[in-house]
Each structure stands twice: as structure tokens, then as C-alpha cells.
Amino acid sequence: MRNLALKIVCLLALCSFTLGDRPAYRLFAADGKTADYDQMLADLAQADVVLFGEQHNDPLAHWLELQVAKDLQRLKGPGKLVLGMEMFERDVQPLVAQYAAGTLPDSAFERQARPWPNYGTDYRPLLQFAQARGIPVIGTNAPRPFAQQVARGSLTALDKLPAADRALLAPLPLKVDYELPGYKNMAAMFGGGAGSPHGGGAQTIIQAQALKDATMAYFIRTSRQPGQTLLHLNGSYHSDHHDGIVAYLRQGAPALKVRTLSVATQAQLDRLAKENVSLADYVVVVPEDMNKTY
């Protein structure tokens, strides 16, 4: 019996060492200090909006999104959680709502709702969870053709849209703050120079990004009721540094309590890299060599 107990202790010690030595992810607060998952969850449950900034091809992020959704639903109780998703555009919202309500079969939904190629592995489990728990699901993104029109021309391409199409977007005309750090980075990436504060050749690309950010923010804000938390999944660039979606949320509803998460890759997980400090309220760090879903 004593030998068996010793074996169990050694086995537990070995497991502890292995898990601690090669963690799948690490969680940090904005200031770079190690964060506790349960404390983070309690904080998120008090928020009006939680923006989970993912890397779209990261399996750990998708797994963690599902865990956060499950835990928020458990903490808040029935009717208090809403799921929002960049991955579905506003024109397919009726299909998203039908699927979440259980009135549209999987095959019809996947055929008609234009899900992303990695939907089956990365997002379907979240929608199935929402369906099973009666959680509303909101597609928040601007329809791609409108964003493409803006990227090719400018926001003026939307001036003559009929009312039915305008209803799929944030209220127009749209004000773009080109001084937001994320948009300034885009200007640098896509051809803006120091002498062109609006991004030079990148101006229309920034406007298309702003249309998406503003549209997601608008439908996040209008899709929740008092006391609810809306958990929104989006690419991290849309919410990093409290930029993008967050800026438009503040513009439309400055009193909203917003919390952000961002997923970042690092070679080492023991500390938060300098460039990832203040990336979000909570930063999920995953290994650089983690497998990708595509």
C-alpha cells in the first residue's frame, strides 16, 4: 500500500512538472502580470461586452472561446449571455437566428449562410452550444460586397444604397478617425506616408476596415439588453489596443463596460513580450509552433 501511494505521488509530481514545463497557453493581464482564469471570468461576467480577439486559424483560441462561453453562461444564468460573431454578415442574420433557435438544419445553414471554410472545426461547436442553451447568436459583420466597394473607391460608394442595404451597416455617413493606432498602422502597411495623414493610397482600405469595425460595434450595441453580456468573437486586429470596434463602441455608447482579450503567439510563454503588453485587458499567449487549422 505504501509503495502504491509513493507511485501515485511520483506520478502526480511528474504530471505537474510536464504540464508546468510545456503549457498549452498562458494568460496575462494588460500590465504583463500573470492572470488567473477564474478571476478573469468573474471580471468578464460583469462586463456589458467582451471582445475576444482571435487568430482565425488557432485551435487553442477556438477551444478557449468555447470554454469562456460555457463559463459565462454558467455564471450569468439563462437569458443573460448573447454570442456575437464577425464570421457571419448581417444579410445572413435571419439564417443565423433560425439555426440558433434550432429551426434550420445544419445542412441548409451551411449551404446558405456562407460560413467560413474553417466553420466546421472552429465555429460550429460554439453555435451548437448556443443552440443547446438557447443563447441568441448575432452575426455582426458588414456584408463583404459593401466593404469591397469601399476598398475599391471610398465610403462615397455607399451614398446611394437603398434603405434595405443601409440597414445592414452602421448608420451612414461614417466618421473615420484616421489617427487611431490601428488605422495608422494600416496606413504604414498599405502605402501611407508621413505627409499623408489619411493614409495616402491606403485611405480606402482603412475606410473599408472602419466600415467593418463600425458595423460590428453598432450591432453589438443594439443586440444586447441591460444585464446581458455579449461575448463577441473577432479577429484580434479589430479590438487590439482598445481600438477598432472598441473605439466605435465608445463613440456610440461611452458608458458600456467593455473588456477585451487578445491571442498572441510567442516563442516563450513564461512572460509577456514587450510588444504584447497592453494589447488587451487579458492576453492569451500560445506557442509559435502550435498547429493551425488552415
Non-local CB neighbours of 204 within 8 Å, separated by 6+ positions:
150, 151, 152, 153, 154
Q: Is 116 among the domain residues? A: yes
Q: How many domains does the chain have?
A: 1
Give the integer Cα–Cα distance in Å for 70 and 132: 11
Q: Is 17 among the domain residues? A: no
CA-closest candidate to residue 282, choices 44, 8, 12: 44
Q: What is the structure's pLDDT at 21? A: 67
Q: Is 82 helix (H, G, I), strand (E, B) or coil?
A: strand
Give the integer Cα–Cα distance in Å for 289 and 253: 40
Q: Is 72 among the domain residues? A: yes
C-alpha cell at 216: 460590428
Q: Is 57 among the domain residues? A: yes
If you compute the radius of gyration of the chain from its CA atoms, what whole number of angstroms results?
21
Helix axis angle for 59-76 and 124-133, nearest 10°, is 10
Q: Is 3 among the domain residues? A: no
pTM, full prediction? 0.90
8 Å CB contact between 108 and 81? no
Which CATH number is 83's domain given? Answer: 3.40.50.11550
Q: Is 15 among the domain residues? A: no
8 Å CB contact between 234 and 86? yes
Per-residue pLDDT of the chain (294 residues; tens, 9 = 90+): 444 443 433 333 333 334 456 789 999 999 999 999 999 999 999 999 999 999 999 999 999 999 999 999 999 999 999 999 999 999 999 999 999 999 999 999 999 999 999 999 999 999 999 999 999 999 999 999 999 999 999 999 999 999 999 999 999 999 999 999 999 999 998 876 444 545 456 999 999 999 999 999 999 999 999 999 999 999 999 999 999 999 999 999 999 999 999 999 999 999 999 999 999 999 999 999 999 999
Helix axis angle for 203-222 and 144-152, nearest 10°, is 150
Q: What is the structure's pLDDT at 23? A: 84
8 Å CB contact between 241 and 278? yes
For 198, the domain range is 27-287
Give the integer Cα–Cα distance in Å for 256 and 228: 11
Beta strand segments in 91-246, E: 137-141, 229-235
CA-closest candidate to residue 244, choices 256, 260, 257: 260
Give the integer Cα–Cα distance in Å for 156 and 71: 43
Return the H-helix or E-strand segment holding 265.
strand 258-266
Give the integer Cα–Cα distance in Å for 168 and 184: 27
Q: Is 227 among the domain residues? A: yes
Place of cell 448608420: 171
C-alpha cell at 281: 485587458
The per-type count for the chain, helices as H runs and strands as E runs, is 12, 7
From residue 12, alpha-carbon distances to 3, 6, 9, 19 in Å are: 14, 10, 5, 11
Torsion of CA 112, 154, 219, 120, to 10 degrees: 30
